[in-house]
Amino acid sequence: MSDPTHLPLLQLRGISKSFPGVKALAEVDFTVRRGEVHALMGENGAGKSTLIKVLTGVYQRDGGSALFDAHDINPKTPQDAQRIGISTVYQEVNLIPHLSVAENICLGRQRSKFGFLNWREIRRRAEKAMARLGIAVDVAETVANCSIAIQQLVAIARALDIDAKLLILDEPTSSLDEKEVERLFGVMRKLKDEGLGIVFVTHFLDQVYAVSDRITVLRNGNFVGEYEAASLPRIELISKMMGKELSEADFKAADRKEHQRGETPLLHLENVGRRGSLKPLNLEIFEGEVLGLSGLLGSGRTETARLLFGVDQPDSGTTRLDGNPIKLKSPRQAMERKFGFCPEDRKTEAIIPNLSVRENIVLALQVNQGWMRYVSRAKQNELADKFIKALNIKTPHAEQPIRLLSGGNQQKVILARWLASHPRLLILDEPTRGIDVGAKLEIEKLVASLAGEGMAILFISSDLEEMVRNSHRVVVLRDRKKVCELQGGEISESAIMHAIAKAES
């Protein structure tokens, strides 16, 4: 007992935290040992991020105790937590977009000489931090110009820049591709061998099992249990998260019914491209089908979506809608033609933080109808209630500001926004990122039934399993170029992977 190294690194006991109308944590226990990766699991809104925020001084706990490195702690601010060696990368990456990578890594931690910042020192330190992660990036580059994946890694480098004993990663991999995830795991294993404790939050079960030693499950703000990863089968983990018994059958792909796709394409792209972002490609999208768009991060998936939605304009080719050439100059024009686009980065592109769940849901519909034709309040309430139920959005009521929802529940609201506007073409860019397993299945069912009703859906996902389950047709992009198209029975994970990996011929 006198030797502190025999104590776990972190011991939280009976932690409680309430917000108006929500009991986010009810007497939760959480123990992290030195040299382990500990996964914190639970459905959207289960309380994972809140537990982390209580531990790191973002929120104050209402009750319970916290022992860290053999000392009672009660951090009042994230800086307090950092000072004692707890470092965090939050779910919503908070970098300052117009500063450089180097400044973002060292921000607020530089030593200044006579009040001047030593740029060379900052640069050297940032380069070292990125090198530790094995990332080649010019640290003088402005963060806004970096991909989301690189931004995520910069946030991690920043967290590691102090002498951390405990590193907390809240959904760090949601915007990383497979190679980047592997690289991050390499870093995590190395840090664990150095004796750090690592808390890992993710909704990707494969990743949990690839890297975690132990798993703690929360459900509805309650502690369910702590388990050895190696002795907790996947299906049991999911059952514990959802609070119901499940069998493998629950995870079988919904029968891919013979779909009735239209005769002529809704949208037909001929040689459409844009210098520097997408090589000219041909693409047809039919009513009533789910067209999967697959490829690595940076392969041109998002660029294609942006061209379709009028965010960027092509500089070659012809786009036809119902056979007639169109040129979309803005997303608004796309929306007028009943296109919807649920973008990949919800924080910067999608949510309006201070508006309520209801207002966020009706937004696209309102824009579609034009502001002169106000959607009645009764209709708004009806839509909000319908989607809160359909997507199981966890919120005390429809008037809650969206920023107070958990990350995954915010994502569901954005999805609801586009579903509510009932577009003819719906572009979904990584729609299930950050969404828990149960909700993912619900969304998949919904997507299938919308296609059944005649909607055309362009489905972008890095998750190959999901791609195969959902798509009637799959187009694979590589190096900003369409490299292959798969239909019906040809669609499989290995076929897609093969197309992604194949060397230029």
Ligand X SMILES: Nc1ncnc2c1ncn2[C@@H]1O[C@H](COP(=O)(O)OP(=O)(O)OP(=O)(O)O)[C@@H](O)[C@H]1O
Binding mask 389-408 for Mg ion (x = CB under 5 A): -----------------xx-
Binding mask 403-422 for ligand X (x = CB under 6 A): -xxxxxx-------------
Give the contacts of 115 (CB within 8 A, at least 6 positions apart): none
| CB closer to ligand X out of 197 and 407 | 407
Cα(243)–Cα(266) distance, rounded to whole angstroms?
43
**Does 49 interact with ligand X (rule: CB under 6 A)?**
yes
**Does 343 interact with ligand X (rule: CB under 6 A)?**
no
Q: Which member of 9, 12, 15, 24 binds ligand X (CB under 6 A)?
A: 24
431 is in the binding site of which of ligand X, Mg ion, none (Cβ under 5 to 8 A by kind)?
Answer: none
User: Which residues between 35 and 74 bind Mg ion (CB under 5 A)?
Assistant: 49
Q: How many residues are listed for the chain in this entry?
A: 505
| CB closer to ligand X out of 137 and 159 | 159
**Does 394 interact with ligand X (rule: CB under 6 A)?**
yes
User: Which residues between 405 and 424 bind Mg ion (CB under 5 A)?
Assistant: 406-407
Residue 150 has a CB neighbour count (10 Å cut-off) of: 19
Q: Which member of 22, 55, 414, 500 binds ligand X (CB under 6 A)?
A: 22
State the residue for tokens 């105790």: 65
Q: Residue 39: beta bridge partners? A: 200, 215
Query: Residue 20 Cβ, how far from ligand X at the closest point, in Å?
Result: 7
Query: Residue 60 Cβ, how far from Mg ion at the closest point, in Å?
Result: 18
Specify the stretch interacting with ligand X by CB under 6 A; choose among 45-53, 131-139, 188-196, 425-433.
45-53
Q: Which member of 41, 47, 149, 174 binds ligand X (CB under 6 A)?
A: 47
Cα(28)–Cα(500) distance, rounded to whole angstroms?
44
**Does 57 interact with ligand X (rule: CB under 6 A)?**
no
Q: Which residue is nearest to ligand X (CB)?
A: 408
| CB closer to ligand X out of 48 and 478 | 48
**Does 46 interact with ligand X (rule: CB under 6 A)?**
yes
Sheet holding 22-32, edge to edge: 71-72, 63-68, 10-19, 22-32, 222-228, 214-219, 37-41, 197-201, 166-170, 86-89
Cβ distance 168 to 87 under 8 Å? yes
**Does 42 interact with ligand X (rule: CB under 6 A)?**
yes
299 is in the binding site of which of Mg ion, ligand X, none (Cβ under 5 to 8 A by kind)?
Answer: none
CA 103 vs. chain centroid, Å, equals: 25
**Does 202 interact with Mg ion (rule: CB under 5 A)?**
no
Binding mask 153-182 for Mg ion (x = CB under 5 A): ------------------------------
Residue from 217, 214, 213, 212 nearest 238 by CA: 217
Query: Residue 254 Cβ, how far from Mg ion at the closest point, in Å?
Result: 27
Cα(391)–Cα(381) distance, rounded to whole angstroms?
15
State the residue for tokens 């572009």: 427
Cβ distance 436 to 399 under 8 Å? no
Cα(289)–Cα(496) distance, rounded to whole angstroms?
18
Phi-psi region of 7 (alpha: psi -120 to 50; beta: other; left: phi over 0): beta
Give the contacts of 320 (CB within 8 A, at least 6 positions apart): 265, 267, 268, 269, 270, 326
Please report, as ranges, the residues that interact with ligand X according to CB under 6 A: 19, 22, 24, 42, 44-50, 91, 394, 404-409
